[in-house]
Amino acid sequence: MTIFLLTLGFFLVVVAAMAVGYIFQNKTLAGSCGGLGSVGIEKACNCDNPCDKRLERQRQERVAKEQSWKKNQIV
């Protein structure tokens, strides 16, 4: 039982240390909306509408493709 309590105490100290470190970084928790897009997976959730960040990224990609297409048409 002593080993169990020492192990539990050790893990609690480690978790508390990580929490304090995260708090002092002054960061907020952030999701990974579209994070799987970098590995080729378009959508991992079953939501109907993508988040604002993903919509903006898609808009920028579309504008970049249109500009590239127009540039290639002029030449």
- Cβ burial, residue 57 (10 Å; 0-12/13-18/19+): middle
- In the prediction, which pLDDT does 37 show? 60
Residue with tokens 């540039």: 71
Q: Which residues contact 50 (CB under 8 A, 6 or more apart)?
A: 33, 34, 43, 58
Mean pLDDT of 17-46: 67
- Domain boundaries along the sequence of the chain: 51-75
Model pLDDT for residues 1-20, shown as the tens digit of each residue = 999 999 999 999 999 998 88
Please tell me the distance from the alpha carbon of residue 45 to that of residue 54, in angstroms, as a whole number: 13
